Structure 1
Amino acid sequence: MTDALLVVRAQLGERDALAALVRAWHDPIWSYVRRMLPAAAADDVAQEVWLAVLRGLPRLRDPERFTPWLFTVARRAVTNRLRVEYARPEVFVEVDLARPDGSAEVLDRAEVAAGLAALPAREREILILFYLHDLALETCAEICAVPVGTVKSRLNRARRLLREALLQKGSHT
């Protein structure tokens, strides 16, 4: 069953359809939120997203646009939480990326995750949406409320910044 059909059914009050949407989209939304925010905030913000979806779903006019609408709701929740986080004084935690098991693959993933987390929020968001959630440039542009050209520029800058961060840490990926 397509997302659009599930949206229409959920708008008509079918709980099973809403449950199916949540099952299908919970992990991608949680993953997006988790990559944009500290781990401690991800669960709370993901729940806030689903509450906003529950409240806003009856007003969604075009069920075919569910995915960009959903990520826009998630983006707003992340942005609101980031405002709160940026208002607090920074606390730096040093992460030890030592190889406890000698696995280079695990270290590479940890390095990439650390490099991604170090990117500015706009660039990190574009990388997450485009590469990790496999969204089209046009969909990323709609979610971020910017032109496609801006998405391309942010992607280019994000890739460059991530590459530089990884090279500075001694990675050759």
Structure 2
Amino acid sequence: MRDEALVVRCQLGDRDAFGDLVRAWHQPVERYVGRMLGRADDDVVQEVWLAVVRGLPRLRQPERFAPWLFAIARRAVMNRLRQAYASAESEPITGDLPADGSDTDLVLDRELVDGALAALPRAEREVVLLFYLEDLPLDACAQICDVPVGTVKSRLHRARRLLRAELLRKGYQA
């Protein structure tokens, strides 16, 4: 309800409300962009917020702000990936960690999981990020990815299987 009220206030011209909205959602957007691209990219995050500023007055369902925001972020990420592919300057993502038993440290576990997430195919990584890390419901994930809910469910199932295999390959002991 808080986001809905902030969106309505923004649509009415309240600049402070937009600041509150950005403070509430900047970190999730930044995290999503960073994980989808495999690295932080402030330019893409800024593109997202610029698109939000331009599109917010036309948002007809303020209660659907989160899926709308992540759909904008997804388009910005896809545009950046297309640009990188076209310029052939993209660098391969590497994330292998030594399996020497030292992965009991929390930081190393996070690096291990981040590396395993980076190894997932883009579609599966996207639904994992939206569903588990951003805590969005299945229907919101489906709307953001522009696929049916059943496709989101199958991608989540495949992603869990691939994550498990990748973590085991990297030496993680359950």
TM-score by length of 2: 0.90
Residue 169 of structure 1 and its aligned partner are, at CA, apart by: 1.4
User: 2:22 maps to which residue?
Assistant: 22
User: 1:109 maps to which residue?
Assistant: 110
In the TM superposition, what are the counterparts of 1:143-162 in structure 2 within 5 Å? 143-162=144-163
Q: Residues of 1 paired with 2:33 and 2:2: CA distance?
A: 24
Residue 110 of structure 1 and its aligned partner are, at CA, apart by: 1.0
3-state SS of 1:13 partner: coil
The residue type paired with residue 138 of structure 1 is D
Residue 12 of structure 1 and its aligned partner are, at CA, apart by: 1.2
Q: Residues of 2 paired with 1:145 and 1:57: CA distance?
A: 20
2:74–2:144 CA contact under 8 A, matched in 1: yes
User: 2:127 maps to which residue?
Assistant: 126
User: 2:49 maps to which residue?
Assistant: 50
Distance 1:39 1:68, change over 3 A: same
2:95–2:116 CA contact under 8 A, matched in 1: no
Q: Residues of 2 paired with 1:121 and 1:33: CA distance?
A: 12
User: 2:31 maps to which residue?
Assistant: 31
3-state SS of 1:39 partner: coil
User: 1:65 maps to which residue?
Assistant: 64
Aligned-residue sequence identity (percent) comes to 64
Unaligned runs of 5+ in 1: none
Superimposed CA distance per residue, residues 40-67 of structure 1 (whole angstroms, 9 cap, x where no aligned partner)? 5x21111110000000001101111111
2:94–2:115 CA contact under 8 A, matched in 1: no
Q: Residues of 2 paired with 1:77 and 1:157: CA distance?
A: 25
Distance 1:170 1:22, change over 3 A: same
